[in-house]
Amino acid sequence: MTGIIFNPTARGDKATRFRRDLADLGSEARLVPTRCAGDARLLAAELSAAGFNTLVAAGGDGTVNEVLNGICDTPEGLERTRLGVIPLGTVNVFAKELGIPAGVAGAWRVVRSGHERRVDLPCAEFRGVDGKPERRHFALMAGAGLDSRAIALVDWEHKKRIGPLAYVWAGIRAMRPPHPQVRVTLGEITRVVELAEIGNGRLYGGRFPVFPRARLDDGRLDVTLFPRVTWPRVAAVFARLLLNRLEGSPDALLLQSETLTLAAETAASEVPFHLDGDVVGTLPARISVQPRRLRVATDATRG
């Protein structure tokens, strides 16, 4: 059985077109719309427990994250249920990483093909928005520092109207001093930085190879650290990303690890923490990875 968990707010009129595109599926899948933030996780857990062997996240990376966690919440859910993706969000980084077509018809063909790939499953333990300890999995990326501050500043009404440009404007606002200071520890290595990014795949923001060494199934987390973030450094890093030459940059440190911790350098400061592009809480955080734990519907021609 296949269930499609659908975010009806994803990119405005995509919701209406998506319903039309699914009208001819008939008995092939059960379409389940979400009602509020967090609902996709609950629905995914219910459907996985009910025996659905494929759950498709139809929406953006936030919907993918919720469906993924719903599968993880179910006893033996990861063994029973694979994850599919129909990208309907603003950026759709996870779908781009897997080579899943942007169109509904193409993405649905990938799900129906039956081909799957096992990828690594990262997990984060952090302080939730209510101040209580929380544990949550993520598909592709986590981070703290200036980008998590920017995500927290995104105006969601602007995002619906102007898409990725809403993140650009929020990023400009986030650059105002003072910058957050994040202490990152990987084994014997400790660094204090203004921006820390953790990746499961290569891409950040849809197309930028911020984690050039990363593979979805290598059992390691890729960590890219930016000690200081100024406008000249941003321009230099951006130029390197366009040429896929971030390695060797004097403004970035690239590392790999199976576990790491993040903490605010100053106890009095509160640093937002994001998973898959949504702020989920604050530091401190501990991140680990389970090798090849997640089953994902993919194109048979992709590695």
pLDDT tens-place string over residues 157-214: 656 666 667 777 777 888 888 899 999 999 999 999 999 999 999 998 778 999 999 9
- Could you tell me the fold of the domain covering 2-114? Rossmann fold (3.40.50)
In which band, very low, low, confident or very high, does the pLDDT at 298 lie, cut at 50, 70 and 90?
A: very high
- Yes or no: say if 296 and 117 are a contact pair by the CB < 8 Å rule: yes
What's the helix, strand, coil split of the chain in %, to 5?
30, 35, 35
| pLDDT mean over 101-110 | 88
Domain with CATH 3.40.50.10330 in the chain: 2-114
Tokens representing 28? 């092939």
| pLDDT mean over 30-49 | 91
- Could you tell me the fold of the domain covering 122-292? Tumour Suppressor Smad4 (2.60.200)
pLDDT above 70 covers a percentage of the chain that reads: 88
Domain with CATH 2.60.200.40 in the chain: 122-292
Residue 14: pLDDT above 70?
Answer: no
Phi/psi for 93 (5° steps) reads -65, -45
Q: Could you give the dihedral angle defined by the CA atoms of residues 13, 39, 44 and 2, in that order, rounded to the nearest 10 degrees?
A: -30
Q: Which of these ranges, 88-92, 136-140, 152-156, has the smallest mean pLDDT? A: 152-156
